[in-house]
A and B are shown apart, each in its own frame.
Chain A
Amino acid sequence: MAELSAFGFRQRLTVLHALDARVKLAALMALSTAALAAGPTGLVPATVLAAGAFYQTGVTPLRAAAEMRYFLLLLAMVWLARGLSSPGDPLITWGGFAVTHQGLAAGGLLCWRWLLIALLGLSLCATTRSAHIRAAVAWFLRPLPGPTAHQVGTMIGLLLRFIPVILTQAKETTDALRARAIKNRRNPLRRLRYMTLPLLRRTFLTADRLALAMAARSFGDRRTPHPWQMNYRDWAALITVGTVCAVMISV
């Protein structure tokens, strides 16, 4: 049985869950772009918005931090590297190295932006069915010629469906290897081989079976179109996000 990631879709009764997927996707794109351009003051309203969105996912901060631990570690390293590598007033010095004020500020801003974007993205995933994300992507790609939009939508849908399955299988494979004392193997290449080959094999097998099962259920180029419906809440959300983005860029 697949273990659910904290940010997998879960049905709840919140405003964010009820919003049109196109609105959420557009908001994510607009806020992310604005966040990359905004300074610290501009990031504040976006952070409030992201915190609100994150609250509606129902995931506890601790659980989220645990889930994102590698990402957070990476951000911490980026921060430190920035602090060490930027010229300016030294804050701490040891050996030939100095952590500078300017470096920490620049690194902090960078990390803040990425954390914000990650939170927004994860909130979108946790509150939107992948079928709806897929339909929204296809909707935005409508201007493209032919069935491209539908195919891209399907690819995204499958990817979202697949990631938790692959992660679960990776964990099962590691557990099975641990049970057979893989730790006693010194050679890291060997260990990698025992880990990767079965996982790749299983992934391809699962993909194969899933494709077959989808074909058996008549999956093809055409489907019932998604019933889009924008209500006042969706427009309100769009206007709010638009305003926040304008503020972020202008302050």
Chain B
Amino acid sequence: MPPHDHHHPILATQGLSHRFKPSGRGLHDITLSIPRGQFVVLAGPNGSGKSTLLRHFNGLLTPRAGTVWLDGVPVAADPARARRMVGLVFQDAESQIVGETVRDDIAFGPENLCWSCDAVDAAVRAAMDQLGLTHLADESPHLLSGGERRRLAIAGVLAMGPEVVMLDEPFANLDYPGIREVLRQVVAMHGQGRTILLAAHDLEKVVGHAQRLIIMDKGRIAADGPVVDVLPLVEQYDVRLPCQARLGMSVTSWLN
């Protein structure tokens, strides 16, 4: 990773608004700042704007008003840099797979960055190793299980060496072992010093590891702060409170 200027938050937005044409829904006046290395959970009901917000952070969408900064540089000024620094694992893992084999798919991003063949190869190996996909290298992605496919999607992003990893509903459609496997990878990426932004409806699986919880509602930030402070507020925004929190206990990790 390149040397950083530690004065800037890694991600920041000021008055970010976005409107989708027909419905008029989108994001309204989002201002937030995320320091480097933080593990942030973005929660909110369906249609609250979580995915839309994530897409502004890597320049897939451009704001109608306001600015998004990535390490002090506006995303709109250099979307290519944003895509290199901010990896996004999509909600639907199936539609982000482009390669015929696991190895090809992971190589897609690094090849787009025009790395040398050796660098691509090294990045692919490292990503397969970290995500436990090495034994599936020549397998077709369509033959993988749901959990393996989600890990492949993460590996494809990780191979590009992003500083920020955003995951949109990474636990959707996974069974218990699948959830634990993906969660373990997310925690490991955070342990490597990466900033993590994770969008989810169901907080139970993940808040035990997160440092900050942002609740979105109808395209606005409804609550934002340390997990312990925000957790008691979630039910008024249609997000289910984890059972343990309901019983007044702290939420334990799903990894134990």
- Chain A interfacial positions (CB closer than 8 Å to B): 1-4, 8-11, 129-131, 161, 164, 206, 209-210, 212-220, 222-224, 227
The listed residue with most B CB atoms (<10 A of its CB), out of A1, A220, A227, is A1
User: Which B residues are in CB contact (< 8 Å) with A11?
Assistant: 101, 138
For the complex of A and B, list the 7 residue pairs with the smallest distance between their C-beta atoms, beginning with the closest: A213-B96, A209-B95, A11-B138, A217-B109, A2-B142, A218-B112, A224-B111
Name the residue of chain B whose CB is nearest to the CB of A207. Answer: B95
SS class, residues of chain A in contact with chain B: loop
In the complex, which residues of chain B have a beta carbon less than 8 angstroms from the beta carbon of A213?
90, 95-96, 98
B 73-99 to A, binary, CB cutoff 8 A, 1 in contact else 0? 000000010011001101010111011
Of the candidates A1, A161, A217, the one whose C-beta lies within 8 Å of that of B157 is A217
CB pair B114–A209 under 8 Å, yes or no, is: no
Contact B84 A218 (CB under 8 A): yes
Docked pose: A218 CA to B78 CA in angstroms? 12
Question: How large, as a class, is the contact surface on chain B?
Answer: 35 or more
The 8 Å CB contact of A216, one of B90, B94, B101, B111, is B90
Q: A4-B143, A215-B83 are in contact. Are A9 and B100 (CB under 8 A)?
A: yes
Instruction: Give chain A nearest CB distance to B208 CB in angstroms.
Output: 28
- With a cutoff of 8 Å between Cβ atoms, the chain A residues found around residue B101 in the complex are 9, 11, 129
Q: Is the CB of B95 within 8 A of A210?
A: yes
Q: A129 to B104, Cβ gap below 8 A?
A: yes
- Which residues on A sit within 8 Å (CB–CB) of B114? 222-224
Asked, given contacts A129-B104, A216-B60, A216-B83, whether A4 binds B140 with beta carbons under 8 Å apart, the answer is yes
Give the chain B neighbours of A217 by CB distance below 8 A: 83, 96, 98, 108-109, 112, 156-157, 160
**Bound CA span A35–B184, Å:** 57
Check B156 against A215 for contact (C-beta < 8 Å): no
Encoded as 1 (CB less than 8 Å from any A CB) or 0, chain B from 220 to 252 comes to 000000000000000000000000000000000
Cross-chain contact of A130 among B84, B100, B156 (Cβ < 8 A): B100
Complex Cα gap A4–B94 (Å)? 14
B117 touching A224, Cβ below 8 Å: yes
A218 to B84, CA, bound (A): 7
Given A4-B140, A206-B95: A218 in contact with B113 (beta carbons within 8 A)? yes
Interface membership of B116, Cβ < 8 A: yes
Is the C-beta of B120 less than 8 angstroms from some C-beta in chain A? yes
* Contacting residues, chain A, for B116 (C-beta < 8 A): 224
Closest partner residue, chain B, to A219 (CB atom): B112
* CB closest chain-B residue, reference A213: B96
Do the beta carbons of B104 and A8 come within 8 Å of each other? no
A131 near B96: Cβ-Cβ < 8 Å: no
CB-contact partner of A220 in B104, B112, B115, B138, under 8 A: B112
Q: Which residues of A contact B60 (CB under 8 A)?
A: 212, 215-216
* B147 contacts partner chain A, Cβ-Cβ < 8 Å: no
Contacts of B87 in A (CB 8 A): 216
Contact of B142 with A223 in the complex, beta carbons under 8 Å: no
Q: How far is the CA of A227 from the CA of B87 in the complex (A)?
A: 26
Q: Which partner residue on chain A sits nearest B144 by CB separation?
A: A1
Chain B proximity of A104: nearest CB distance (Å): 41
Chosen A-B contacts, 19 in total, with CB atoms closer than 8 Å, are A1-B142, A3-B142, A4-B142, A8-B140, A9-B101, A10-B140, A129-B101, A131-B99, A131-B100, A209-B90, A210-B96, A216-B83, A217-B112, A218-B80, A218-B160, A219-B112, A223-B111, A224-B113, A224-B114
A residues near B96, Cβ cutoff 8 Å: 209-210, 213, 216-217
Chain B residues near A1 (CB-CB < 8 A): 94, 142-143
Contact B98 A214 (CB under 8 A): yes
B80 touches A220 (CB 8 A): yes
